[in-house]
Structure 1
């Protein structure tokens, strides 16, 4: 039997993530500094860990309901109202998932049919395109430009919306650029979309990591709320990546259908992590604030550092990434990252891993210690000096 022929063609045709090979390379190196993994370097706050441990000590190890514990869904609804002025019914409009990534997958699989088009502004998180292809739909990239601060513009959508467009993915604060959208930016988008039969998946996992002003969701617009699935989770803001708790909020009918997929494929999110998430949402906001303040300090340090060594860099106002322009070195994004890793033992991710329009850029995270960031910039500067 030819096993390769047994694989579904639409699965085999999707390439693996362009990020992973660099992580494999760095594992072989000593004294390497990683600016590649989008994960907080903070340990999950103590009280949150204690809540998870306590749940195990008390023997709370059974399944939750498919949608997640109602106590957690109530805390999510309270959190979304308190922090982002978005109101959802915990019983019917909130679904707890295995990380934000599962929520994205569920939303896409629920909303699209084979042949439907999904608009994906790029550079963007790699999962959107992969999940679209796995669902048999067609990803339609839209190039976000540095001169527009990597914000989505109405004219960008006007060029790509067709009668096959079913979903628009919006992801702000953005991975990999660190861009945000403000209220006025959304106004022109909402005006364009309000009369169109297009659903929105708004990935807001980095919502707490907004450094100028307050996070704005497209769901804050009354005419958009019913047609928007908001994805968020505990991973980034609460330093809970390994706990794998995300959530989706939206129209009750859409959430019900997403839950149907979830209950067949997953059953429920890990219950220990759900107990920890309840504690995080009830009592963890001061810890979040302290982490965000530290990220903001690092953000300024890294941005200034890249500019001093001669790399142009858009000022990120959210998430924990910078996206410097490396075109003046004459190297491609892949060449830059591979040579930097081998010659100076610093890991960054090529911009084209996040879409073809990311070519000429690289992504670096500042979710690591100040000491490592200072040393990394020193090494990058030494490497870049060969070319500029």
Structure 2
């Protein structure tokens, strides 16, 4: 029979519904409380109600659950030591946008061998996120595929929309309906307007088509997300976190009737794609805060147990704790940077009040 449909589809298979996966790997009542408390604290930081500094720290992408749990346990211990002035959130990214081709992340290819067992990847990712929350850390991730969001969003305390998708209507609508604060990254050329437009859009109500809990297609109507904000990641190999960039951005956001709440991603173009230079961006940001800048609410660091990165080699198991995507700083430098940040913030706010209730 001649058909004009699905000509380039090699195969199809049924995927378990979001509701079925969440029923099999449920979020406990204790975990719900932890997620909601972390979201509330992040909102207070973004609002300026809390003097705490948000640090979203962790691997560029997770490919090994054992090393991810070890990282989370170390980060939790450090979190307890700096919690008076810093809220540590673990970066747990499972989807990787690709400029052309490459490994798309643990959800899409959990075995790192191009077998693309997506259902297995969803279960592994959700189970790992639940473990991180149980350890006592909030989870941050990038929302890339709007359908995947239905499988994991209930565990997430902070979400990012990447530079390649910030311009997309689909992701702006998604951001408007997500239950956690959402950071929109600036465009890959380093300019701000695309992210500013995305924030304005996400603040608004929307209606769009999506996948319901039972797997059926349905219509979602959103209220708008009041905690959409901007994440600076540089562009075209140049940073955009300097005081002059922040000043320009604040004016642009105020003209758009947006409250400037800024997160600086110390990686990507802000480090010249050299993980060893992330500390330069962090130190500059802290100097601005010491000089009185209040619009910068936090930073992101790409960090793993081991410094650097590795290639995925067919037939070889990657080294645990070493990035298979962007290069990351190692644990020793991570701990040093967090502790030095804490010391500088403690000197700036020696008697910081407790985070107020929302």
Give me the TM-score of the superposition, normalised by structure 2: 0.29
Indicate the structure whose relative CO is greater, using CA pairs within 8 Å and at least 6 residues apart: 1
Q: Which has the larger radius of gyration?
A: 1
